[in-house]
Amino acid sequence: MKKILLYTIILCGVFSSCKKYLDVVPDNIATIDYAFTLRTSAEKYLFNCFSYMPAHGNFNFNPAMSAGDEVWYMDPPLDVSGAVNFWNIARGQQNASDPWGDFWLGQRQGKNLWIAIRDCNIFLDNIHKVPDMQSYEKERWKAEVLFLKAYYQFYLMRMYGPIPLVKTNMPITSTPEEVKVSRDPVDSGFNYIVQLLDEAAANDNMPDRIIGTEALELGRITKTIVKAFKAKVLVTAASPLFNGNTDYPNFKTVAGVQLFNQTFNKSKWQRAVDACREAVDFCHANGHALFYMGPNSSFVVNDTLRKQLDLRGALNVKEANNNEIIWANTSSMADINMQRWTMPILATLAISGSGPKGILAPPIKMAELFYSKNGVPITEDKTWNFGQRFDLKTATAADKFYVKDGEQTVKLHFDREPRFYASMAFDRGIWLGNWVNNYDYTKALLYPKARRGEFSAKQGVSNWSVTGYWIKKLVSLSTAADKDGALTYENYPWPEIRLSDLYLLYAEALNELNGPGAETYKWINLVRQRAGLQSVEDSWTNFSNEPSKHTNQNGLRQIIHQERMIELAFEGQRYWDLKRWKEAHVVLNGPIAGWNTVATDATSYYKPVVLYSQAFNMRDYFWPIEIQEVLKNRNILQTPGW
Amino acid sequence: MKCSLPKTAGCILIALCSILQVQFAFAREGHKTRSSHRPASVIRFIIAAPPGNHPVYLFDKEVRGTVLDSANHPMSGVSVTVKDVANIGTTTDINGKFILNVPNDNAVLVFSMVGYASQEIPVKGKEVINLQLKSSAGSLDDVVVVAYGKQRKRDVIGSVTTITPSELKVPSSNLTTALAGRLAGVIAYQRSGEPGQDNAEFFIRGATTFGYKKDPLILIDGIEYTSTELARLQVDDIAQFSILKDATASAVYGARGANGVILVTTKEGKQGKAKINIRLENSISAPTKDVKLADPVTYMRMANEASITRGVLNVPYDQSKIDNTEAGVNKYMFPATDWKKELFKKSTINQRGNFSVSGGGGVANYFIAGSYTKDNGIMKVDKKNNFNNNIDLKTYNLRSNIGLKVTRTTDVMVRLYGSFDDYTGPITGGSQMYRNVMRSNPVLFPASFPLDAEHFGVHHILFGNAERGFFLNPYADMVRGYKQSTKSLMVAQFELKQDLSFLTQGLNFRAMTNTNRQSAFDVSRAYIPFYYTAPANSYDKVTNTYHLLGINPDGGTDFVDLLSGGGRTVVSTFYLEAAANYNRNFGKHGISAMVISILRSQLEAGASSLQESLPFRNQGLSGRTTYNYDNRYFAEFNFGYNGSERFYKTERFGFFPSVGGAWMVSNEKFFEPAKSIVTKLKLRGNYGMTGNDKIGDKEDRFFYLSEVRIGAPANAASFGTNGAYSRPGVSVSRYENYDITWETATNSTFGLEVGLFNKIEIIAEYFTEKRRNILMDRTLPSTLGLQVTPKANLGQAKSRSFEISVDYSSRFGRDLFVSARGNFTYAKNKFVAYEEPLYDEWYKSRIGHPVKQQWGYIAERLFVDDEEVSNSPTQTFGSRPVAGGDIKFRDVNRDGVINTLDQVPIGYPTSPEIVYGFGASLKYKGFDVSGFFQGSARSSFWIDVEATTPFVSYLYDGEKFGTPGTNPTFPTGTQLQNQLLKAYADNHWSESNRNLYALWPRLDNQLNGNNNQPSTWFMRNGDFLRLKQVELGYSLPTGMAKRIHLESLRVYSNATNLLNFSKFNIWDVEMGGNGLGYPVQKVINFGIQVGL
């Protein structure tokens, strides 16, 4: 038996001497701590914090572009798989089982912004550890991440209303009870966001504006961005959706805390005005101004067409001398996809596989939104026959820079303000510039032909506009299709905030606080002036059938709202503005119409076809939280109505 | 001591050497002190008697005799050995005669042969021993392969099922397809019939783990392989096939054996002259069932209906096109393409052949086997191409098992095995071709146009397409090129057995090391098809002619080019085990003990992360002791002490013991009177634990480590006017958790074995298992902001199963032999603990429900009209409001909204709870006939709504679009359009025929989100019973065979999947939800087997 023992011992010896056999993992495997041991990895973490910003420059990721009524798609939708998630919201299909565009869980084309906030907190908690960095740079980065943290919380609040504020991270080992946070009241939310922004702006290491280093740093957060964003936050906080919204009297936390303040508080508009003023002054001090096309551009244009260039170039920070863009999102370029999807096919053989697709289709209501050439709504213009807007008219030589002369289209497309022609393209409407270097008004101007069988109409399965309209505004001036359809294109950073946006916020806040007045008019008129329109006072007095509309607060409010929707059309603002103003249940409740795109002749083509009857319920002001999530944490109450 | 593989091997070598040294020293001592007439040799190990006994005189007596069977025919190949003395033995010759030198008069001869009861006959001075061997219906002395060894069947306490290899013979080059219904406790089903991809999925009892490995451990000659290697194994090479099902049987495998173990040993040579066995087979295979599609005219009408009925104004097909197609005006202008016919043949032919040679002499014995199989797919080949795009899978196997007797007490075995696949086939595989047909428009264009005058000189095929050429032409996709892939497995295995009886009787030591390399790669070559269209405006009605327009004159190529992106895998495995065994009887007491230690390391190429690249390792120490008293009472204790690299230090090793006992009632004295009826009665039971470390996903093995990617491209941000300054971000794919540990299963089995009249053998077992520490996702709120959901060992599941198998065999007279068998498995499992949100609705909880239970809505019927919709609880799914003719769901919680809270457990689990099989065979003289049925019950499956919704585009998981040349599934922009199943065309809700219980709801021109919800509407009963196999054979009588110089000759024909009984008839029910893939095949096979 001794021998047995011996062999057993040998066997066991083999076994035990190799305990380390299972230690296959090298010692210095990457863990989160390694992110803060070097500047280069800390920089990656900084960029990581930025990476959660929704990619607004791509229609597939910008909820506001498809969730409202700015664009419509063919049914079944083709080649827009991402945007469909948001479009389903526009079609009243939002639900709590599997929410579309879910930014709470990061599903259905939403991004999980809680992860973004947690990562921002990790960055803020650890950046001080990096050994090989100067403190000024650490401070600068920290200020940027404070901004991002504010931005993400704002993004969530705009969607979900009251949210739990994640001021600090909870450890992963927290007990199940500890992680069951509650929603915080909207006022606390906005206050916290503003507190973060103030902290960021107070940091001297954050640059005022990126000047001189645009090639590498444009898009980094600056004080102008922080201040402009703060203005937007406070205008939102003062707006009806969040200021005295009595639609949710019983929306309280489990502990009984009222989540929506129940009384309108005018001092919120005072805060908004102060923030707007500070932002505008700061922007001016740093050289921001509305964009006008420089005289020395290579384009051969007349004044009419130059105005078009002013308006289209305003979005593009890359245009020479563009000081209008306050926040250019360089991580989300309006790239070839955005531009291809909005641009019509402009010649018979221009059907390259990578050429224009023209799928993003604005409905007729967007065409009706723009003012007449006199700068007042087409429903109000004394000189413009609204009732006959769908009648046909043949363009003359006088129209030739807007509508192809000798061609027929509806009266709706005549005598409109320059922004209409700069923002939208339509059947027989002029498309300035195409083919390479064709910005020459002396040459033949191009225009889409969209009736059945024509080159801009449906060819094949996709690649056509279901309404007969296209978004011209988002196509860079330097993007051109060649005759075979191949695109030469220019990406440009998505304009998150531009100066005209800020001016109109300022005008809105001033009107809400003080009503009409020279100060209020001043900011809206700056925007109108660049759009080639007369001042509010002159336009309404002379052309509106409500000539004194602008002199009372309510009338001016309507004017400012429409001005804002026109100026910022297709930039992903309208959807949020309509909600903020509590106008969505009016505006987003009605037919979506387009032209009869299957018709071959003008008469039948220009019959409005109802594509969809939109319905917007009161519950749609805020997005539902997925059901399981509410069950996992019973302290997070479901958004009312869902 | 820092451990590395060479050092480990060194450890074992040192251990071996020390054993040899000890032995050598012992032998020398013997030489000095004892008699000197025996030649001493330093290199030869000799049997030494235990201390105190006299030395043994070798080979001093010759015994001869004849062995006959019960019919008094001489039996060849009977093994004759001397009991308790290794290495003395022979086999009977052709005339049943043997001659053997035995050590002395006290020797006991053991006569044994598989299928016969062995007999022990003491020599006691006899020089001639004649005897008759009795055939054994479930002989008690059958040897069963068990974990790390063999046991006599009567000693087995654990749950072990064995099967005679010949029962696994199927006319398929895939062994896994033979498992279903043949082995009690094994659940198997086959989802695809594509050569090379047709492995059956199989589980042992109710697998309840969520881990990435649910299938059993497959050990071939002691080495772990995947089911692919099992599939390639030749039945003719198999000596024994066992399945270990419970802890007692598999505990010694510890971590690796948690989901059961399949043990296969291959044949070894036997002493005697070379025996050659040759088998050739040729078979015809065809789909068991064809999915029927609607005709093209119906297709167009329904496509129009799908738009109109949903209020979409422009319909896809003009009436004139429909009329012209129906009239068959011009098959190129108004095509009605039957894509199936264009792509597939009706049947295909496969060949298989294998041979083996075995034999041996005094020093060595050998078994060498080779096989060749050729499986052909069912695709057509275009004559214009000079390459073959049909599936052609050639498999070559070569196996060589050589045993050497190095010394009288030392055996060495070398096993070499190579398995090689050469495959050519469609670039994206055979299943893909079926899926493509299902997504191709039948009325837009023909597969190809004939050459017209204008294109007379072109060398390429004029493939059809439409518009801009973005439609899927499955024919073009199939014939445009081909994929070549090769796969190889090389195995080298060395085994050493050292008899240590000189230390103490019954002790031996063995060691085994194995290394194998698997590698595979593929290359694809293709041209880019030229597409042509016959535009509508080119058609001349009067002359009925059209004009062809090239769609991509610049885009196509008429030469074949290499496609990038071929796959490549290499896996290397090293394995080492060393064991000591002790086995001895003391009078009525039998004891055995075993201790074994193993090391296993596997390294895989092509890892996408550091953590994936690290070797997979197992280390273990296991043991077994058994005791029996008088062959009546049996007891057994097993343990596995296992380590896994996956867990944190404190959790790295797990100890998994098991105990068992058995009582052979029929060996009791008091049982004697009943023994003529009940020839065997055995009760057994056991209780034990196993552990599983293959939990979670393969990608996250190291739960105790966080996995962070510093430099994650998906989390990048860019700055600068042109985004020139870009940096990747940091992503976390796992948070560290030191507490993740083994999934453990505690199980117990009660078994009853009954033998009746020596003809019937019944084994019944009741098995229960409780799995603890099942790894699952935490339910943490999203607001915590974690990038990935942490996991924890939170789940618990229970399973129970009942199995019974009955075997009957009987011989009637001289010529007739009948056997029948049946088996039945009923296995059920349920969650006992599961982390989930706190539901108000009791039915939402998974606790108490089977692991594979599905939840879904209760579909009441179809909505009558839109008005009923608006008066019913809100159903908001998908992108369109619900309308009449859509599925109406039940508002279970009555809150006025249909949402996930209304989903209830529906149907049976997706894998069957009952699996059974039964069959019989009959042998009369040279003729034999057998049939075998296989069935399953209590399972549900769901028709894949997305894949079958007509007219919509559907992309299967894993398919991708990309630029041609990079080997994507489809070129970017390809328009896929589902075909219309005939079953749907015939039976759907329409405005004119408002059938509220129609098979298919209201048509839609896009995927309907409402009708696509998981619900009872598309739930189907997965029950089926099929005639799995029939076989008819004839063996030439031995005498006749002799005359033509053959040992044996058998010709046979067999067939699989000939008949199927099921309630579901759109496709073969066994394919479940995967019905549009490569169909399961029925095969008719002809074979000949020759022994030389």
Task: List A residues 326-355 in contact with B (Cβ-Cβ < 8 A).
Answer: 328, 330-331, 333, 351, 353
Tell me what pLDDT residue B200 has: 78
Query: Mutate which of B592, B599, B719 to disrupt the A interface (most A C-beta within 10 Å)?
Result: B719
Helix (H) or strand (E) holding B478: helix B474-479
Judged against a pLDDT cut of 60, whether residue B402 lies above it is answered with yes
Tell whether A51 is within 8 A of chain B (Cβ). yes
Say if the Cβ atoms of B725 and A216 lie within 8 Å.
Answer: yes
In terms of Cβ atoms closer than 10 Å to its own Cβ (0-12, 13-18, 19+), residue A360 is buried
Q: Sorting pLDDT into bands at 50, 70 and 90, what band is B3?
A: very low
Residue pLDDT, tens place only, B640-698: 898 888 888 888 888 999 999 999 999 899 999 998 899 889 999 999 888 888 888 87
Tell me what pLDDT residue B70 has. 66
- Please answer yes or no on whether A7 and B781 come within 8 Å at the CB atom: no
Render pLDDT for B231-240 as a digit per residue (tens, 0 to 9). Answer: 878 888 888 8
Query: Which of B512, B614, B784 is the best substitution to test chain A (most A C-beta atoms within 10 A)?
Result: B784
Average confidence (pLDDT) over B720-724: 93
Do B337 and B331 contact (CB within 8 A), yes or no?
no
Higher pLDDT, residue A222 or B268: A222
DSSP string for residues in B779-820: ---GGG--SS--EEEEEEEEEEEEEEEEEEEEEETTTEEEEE
User: pLDDT value at position B469?
Assistant: 81
DSSP assignment of B700-727 equals ---TTS-EEEEEEEEEEEEESTTS-EEE
Give φ, ψ of A520 to 5 degrees: -65, -50
**Predicted pLDDT of residue A113:** 97
Strand partners, B707: B734
Q: What was the pLDDT predicted at B986?
A: 95
Q: Is the predicted pLDDT of residue B1013 greater than 90, yes or no?
A: yes
Q: Do A263 and A244 touch, CB atoms closer than 8 A?
A: yes
Q: Is A2 an 8 Å CB contact of chain B?
A: no
Instruction: Tell me the mean pLDDT in the region B950-965.
Output: 85
Provide the total of helices (H) and of strands (E) in chain B, helices listed first: 13, 55
DSSP A546: S
Side chain identity at residue B203, one-letter code? F
Which residues of B fall within a CB distance of 8 Å from A217?
A: 719-720, 725
Of the listed ranges B93-102, B269-278, B316-325, the least confidently predicted one is: B93-102
Structural tokens at position B884: 């009449």
Put simply, the answer to whether B899 touches A115 (Cβ < 8 Å) is: no
Give pLDDT, residue B396: 92
pLDDT tens digits, B593-631: 999 998 889 999 888 888 888 898 888 889 989 999 988
What would the two tokens of residue B987 be?
């039976």
Which residues, other chains included, contact B676 with Cβ-Cβ below 8 Å and sequence gap of 6+? Answer: none
A631 Cβ under 8 Å from any chain B Cβ: yes
| Least confident window among B80-94, B256-270, B492-506, B617-631 | B80-94
Which residues are bridge partners to B598 per DSSP?
A: B577, B620
Give the torsion through C-alpha atoms of B720, B721, B724, B726, to 10 deg: 40
The pLDDT value recorded for residue A380 is 96
> Looking at chain B from residue 533 to 572, which residues have their Cβ under 8 Å from any Cβ of chain A?
none
Q: State how far the Cα of B493 lies from the Cα of B511, in Å rounded to an integer.
A: 11
A536, A525 in Cβ contact below 8 A? yes
CA torsion sign for A418, A419, A422, A428 is negative
The β-bridge relationship of strands B217-220 and B143-146 is: unpaired
Is the CB of B717 less than 8 angstroms away from the CB of A47?
yes
Query: In chain B, what's the furthest Cα-to-Cα distance?
Result: 117
Total residues found in chain B within this entry: 1092
Residues of B in contact with A105 (CB under 8 A): 782
Touching check for A48 and chain B: CB below 8 Å? yes
* Shortest distance, CA A3 to any CA of chain B (angstroms): 7
**Residue-level pLDDT at B243:** 85
Q: Is the pLDDT of residue B258 over 90?
A: no
- Per-residue H/E/C for B78-133: CEEEECCCCCCEEECCCCCEEEEEECCCCCEEEEEECCEEEEEEECCCCCECCEEE
DSSP element (H, E) containing B487: strand B481-499
Q: Quote the mean pLDDT of chain B.
A: 85
Full-model pTM: 0.85
Most confident of B310-324, B418-432, B548-562, B859-873: B859-873
**Distance in angstroms (rounded) separating the CA atoms of residues B902 and B877:** 13
Q: Are strands B116-122 and B89-91 parallel, antiparallel or unpaired?
A: unpaired
CA gap A359, A350 in Å, rounded:
15
* Residue B61 burial (CB count, 10 A): 16
Task: Give the separation between CA B651 and CA B691, rounded to whole angstroms.
Answer: 12
Model pLDDT, residue B27: 39
Residues on chain B touching A179 (C-beta within 8 angstroms): 780-781, 783-784
- Burial of B982 from C-beta contacts in 10 A (0-12 / 13-18 / 19+): middle
Q: Chains A and B: how many Cβ contacts under 8 Å?
A: 283
Burial B739-767 (b: 16+ CB within 10 A, else e): ebbbbbbbbbbebbbbbbebbbbbbbbeb
Whether the CB of A115 is below 8 Å from some CB of chain B: the reply is yes
Question: What's phi and psi for B642, nearest 5 deg?
Answer: -120, 145
Task: Copy the structure tokens of residue B686.
Answer: 């056991």
Best of A211, A330, A352, A464 to mutate (most B CBs within 10 Å, chain B): A330
Which residue is closest to B646 within chain A, CA to CA? A22
Looking at the partner chain, which of A8, A181, A217 has a beta carbon nearest the beta carbon of B719? A217
A393, exposed or middle or buried, with CB in 10 Å at 0-12, 13-18, 19+? middle
Question: Given an 8 Å threshold on Cβ–Cβ distance, is B18 in contact with A94?
Answer: no
Residue B25 pLDDT grade (very low, low, confident, very high; cuts 50, 70, 90): very low
- Amino acid (1-letter code) at residue B884: G
B140 pLDDT exceeds 70? Answer: no
Q: What percent of chain B has pLDDT over 70?
A: 90
| CB proximity list for A9: less than 8 A, separation 6 or greater | none
pLDDT at site B424? 92
Identify the closest residue of chain A to B1006 by CA–CA distance.
A76
d(CA B204, CA B222): 19
Cα–Cα distance, B424 to B374 (Å, whole number): 11
State the pLDDT at residue A20: 76
Number of H helices, E strands in chain A: 22, 10
Q: Is B98 within 8 Å of chain A by CB?
A: no
Is A23 in contact with B900 (Cβ distance < 8 A)?
Answer: no
A486 against B760, higher pLDDT: B760
A453 touches chain B (CB under 8 A): no
Confidence of residue B208 (pLDDT cuts 50, 70, 90): low
As a whole number of Å, the end-to-end CA separation of chain B is 56
- pLDDT at residue number B12: 45
Range list of H helices, B345-423: none
The amino acid at residue B509 is F
Query: Which B positions 290-349 lie with beta carbon below 8 A of chain A?
Result: 312-314
Q: Which residues 707-726 on chain B approach chain A with CB closer than 8 angstroms?
A: 707-712, 714-726
Smallest Cα distance from B710 to chain A, Å: 7
Please give, rounded to a whole number of angstroms, the shortest distance from the CA of B115 to a CA of chain A.
36
pLDDT at B146 over 90: no
Task: Tell me if chain A has a CB within 8 Å of the CB of B880.
Answer: yes
What ipTM was estimated for this complex? 0.94
Q: In the predicted model, what is the mean pLDDT of residues A298-316?
A: 92
Subunit contact B837:A41, Cβ cutoff 8 A: no
Contact indicator for A537, A517 with CB cutoff of 8 Å: no
Instruction: Give B532's contacts (C-beta < 8 A, 6+ positions apart).
Output: B449, B455, B462, B463, B464, B465, B548, B549, B550, B551
Q: Does the pLDDT value for residue B43 go beyond 80?
A: no
